[in-house]
Chains A and B, each alone.
Chain A
Amino acid sequence: MSNNSKIDLDTLKKLGKLSRIPIDETGSIKLMDDLNKIIGFIEQLNEVDTESVNPLSSVTGHNLPIREDVVDDGNKNNDVLENAPEKKSGYFVVPKVIE
C-alpha cells in the first residue's frame, strides 16, 4: 500500500472542509493512511472492463412512483421543532450566518 497515497494532507483537508469534519493534526496521519488503504483496495475495480456498460444506481425494477398534488402533510410545527437544540418564536436558531 506504500506506493499508494492518493489522499495527501491537502486532499484530506479539502474532504474535511466539504464534509464539515475538521481534520486534527494528531489524527490526520492515521486517517490518511486508513483512507489510502481503502482507496488502494477499491482500485481493484480498474481490472474490470466496463466499456459500454450502463451504470446501475438502483436495482429497483419499477418506474418512479408519482404522488397526486394534494396537501396532506405539514402543519406540524411542534413535531418539526420538537427536537431542535435551539429554537425561538417558531424558528430554528443557529449561529449567525454571514453571506
Chain B
Amino acid sequence: MINTNKNSNYISGKTGDWEIVIGLEIHAQVLSSSKLFSGASTEFGKDPNHNVSLVDAAMPGMLPVINQTCIKQAIKSGIALNAEINKYSVFDRKNYFYADLPQGYQISQYKYPIVGEGSLQITDANGEDKVIGIERIHLEQDAGKSLHDQHPSKSFIDLNRTGVALMEIVSKPDLRSPEEAASYVKKIRTVLRYIETCDGNMEQGSLRADCNVSVRKPNGNLGTRCEIKNLNSIKFISQAIQYEAERQVEILENGGVIDQETRLFDTSTGETRSMRSKEDAHDYRYFPDPDLLPLELCDSQISEIRSDMPELPDQLVERLISEYGITKYDANVIAEEKEYVHYYENSAKDRDGKLVVNWMTSELFGLLKKNNIQFNQNPISPNYLNELVELIENKTISGKIAKDVFEIMFATSKSPKMIVKEKGLEQVTDDSAIEVFVDQVINENKDKVKEYLSGKDKLFGFFVGQVMKISQGKANPGLVNKILKSKLK
C-alpha cells in the first residue's frame, strides 16, 4: 500500500529522508495556594524575595513539609492522562549547585514517581488521531529566577518561584514532527486547564517544555539526542525542534556525529546553541530525601479523586458531537478551552447546535481576532448569541441581516431582538407585501422578463437579488422565490 501522507513529516536531505524523533518533558506548575514544601504563596509577580519562607531560602535547620493539594493535583493529572497512580512514591534529592537553587539540591522524584505510565490522544498533522505515550509524572520543586541583565558583572537572585510545585510530565519518544509536538503540548495544556491542576500560562512560565530531539533514517535506529531546555511557548517549541532537527541532519549528512548535550534556544535568531556553562561532570547523586518519608497512598484516596474528576476534553468532544450534532473538528475547536465550552453550551441551549458553532467559530472568533480582543473580554453574551440564532431559526431575520445585527451586537453589546426592533430589520413574511416588491421588479425590468420567459433561466437569480435589494434584505428569501416563480409563468 502506498502511504501518501507519511512523508510529510520527514526532512528530505541530500541522502534521503530523515525522521524526527521527539520526546517532551513538560514542567507544569501545579495550581496550589502555597508551595510544595513550605507555606509561602505561589502568587506570580510579587516583589523579589517576597513569597519566600525560611524553608525556601534554605536557611540552616529548615525542613520540608509536603502540601496536600500538590499531591492531589498530581494524582488528578495522572488520572486525566490515563495513567497509573503509584501508591508508593519517594522524594529524592537531586544534587547540583546553582545560584537560584538555595538548598544545593532540588527535591524531586527519581526512582519512584507518583504517577506511572499513561497516554494522551492528539491530532496529528493530517488530522488523524494519534496516541502519545506518557512515561511518568513526578512532583518536584521549581527553582528561583536569576536576572543576568541588571548589572555588568553580577546576577540578581529572586527566590519567589523557588519551591513552587511542578509536575514534570515526561512523554515517550512518540512525537514525529514539530506540529505533533505542538499539538501534544496544546492538548496537555487543555487537559490540565480542564481539571484545574495547572493554569497553563506559558508567558508566566507556568508551563514550559524541555524537548529531546534526534533524527534517524525512517524506521532506523534511534539517533543521539539533544535536549533543548526551557521553551516557554508553543511557537518556540516548533521552531526549536525544526531548527534542531535540520541542524542534526546537516551534521550527519556531512559525516559528523551528534554530541549528546543540552542546548538553549535563542528566540531572537530562532537557533539552538550549546550551553556555555557545560556541566561536564553532571552527576546528580539522587538519594531519598531523609527529611521526608515515602508517600504512601491508599486506594480510597485515589478513588475519591477519581470519582470527583471533571469531564475530560476527549469525553467532552464525544458528548458535543452526539448532543449537538456538530462535527468532530468543530467539537475539538470548542473543547480547546473550557471557557469556549461554557459559552457554547449556553448559547446552543434549545438551538441548532451546528448553526451556533458556525456563528461562534467563524463570526465571533473572527471578530475577536480582528479586533484583538481576548475571549474573556468578549462583548457578546452567550444569551444574546442564543437569541440571535433563535431569530434566524424562527425566520425573524435572514442570515444576511443576522450578520449585520451581529456586528452591531459586537460593537454595542446590545440584545439582538432590541437591535432588530430598533432598526426595523424583521423579515417580511407577508405574501402581499412581497408581491408588491415582485411586481415592482417585473415592471421595471420588462426586457429581462422577456429574455427569462424565452428560456434564459439564469436570470431568475437577478430577479431575486432585485427583490431583496428593494426590500432592503428583509424579504423572506423563500417567499420571494415562491412568488417570483408564480408571477413569471
Contacts and interface: CB of A to CB of B under 8 A. Distances in A.
Question: Is this pair of chains taken from one and the same complex?
Answer: yes
Interface of A: 14, 17-18, 20, 57-58, 60, 62-77, 79-81, 86, 88-99
Contacts of A80: 49, 52, 54, 57, 159
A60 B291 CA distance: 10
A71 B49 contact: no
Contact of B281 (A17, A64, A73, A77): A17
Majority-rule SS of A interface residues: loop
B49 A77 contact: yes
A69 B151 contact: no
Contacts of B47: 77, 90
Interface residues of B, number: 56
Contact of A73 (B55, B152, B294): B55
Nearest to B50: A77
B156 A18 contact: no
Given A65-B65, A67-B65, A73 B39 contact: yes
A34 to B, nearest CB: 21
A28 B49 CA distance: 40
A73 B290 CA distance: 23
B275 A74 contact: no
B146 interface: yes
A74 B159 contact: no
Nearest to B53: A73
Nearest to B97: A20
Contacts of B53: 73-74, 76
B7 interface: no
Contacts of B39: 67, 70-74
| Most-contacted residue by chain B among A67, A77, A90 (CB, 10 A) | A67
27 contacts: A17-B281, A18-B285, A57-B288, A57-B290, A58-B293, A63-B296, A64-B293, A64-B294, A64-B295, A66-B71, A72-B34, A72-B39, A74-B41, A74-B52, A75-B51, A76-B54, A77-B48, A80-B49, A80-B57, A81-B49, A88-B151, A91-B48, A92-B49, A93-B155, A94-B99, A95-B154, A95-B155
Nearest to A72: B39
A14 B67 contact: no
Contact of B33 (A66, A71, A81, A94): A71
Nearest to B65: A67
Given A75-B50, A97-B99, 9 more contacts: A57-B290, A64-B66, A69-B32, A70-B33, A74-B38, A74-B40, A93-B151, A93-B157, A98-B277
Nearest to B145: A91
Contacts of A92: 49, 99, 156-157, 159
A75 B151 CA distance: 26
B68 A67 contact: yes
A76 B53 CA distance: 7
Contacts of B264: 99
The 9 closest A-B pairs by CB, nearest first: A74-B40, A73-B39, A69-B69, A91-B156, A73-B53, A92-B157, A72-B39, A64-B293, A90-B48
A93 B49 CA distance: 12
B462 to A, nearest CB: 70
A62 B293 contact: yes
Nearest to A92: B157
Nearest to B90: A57
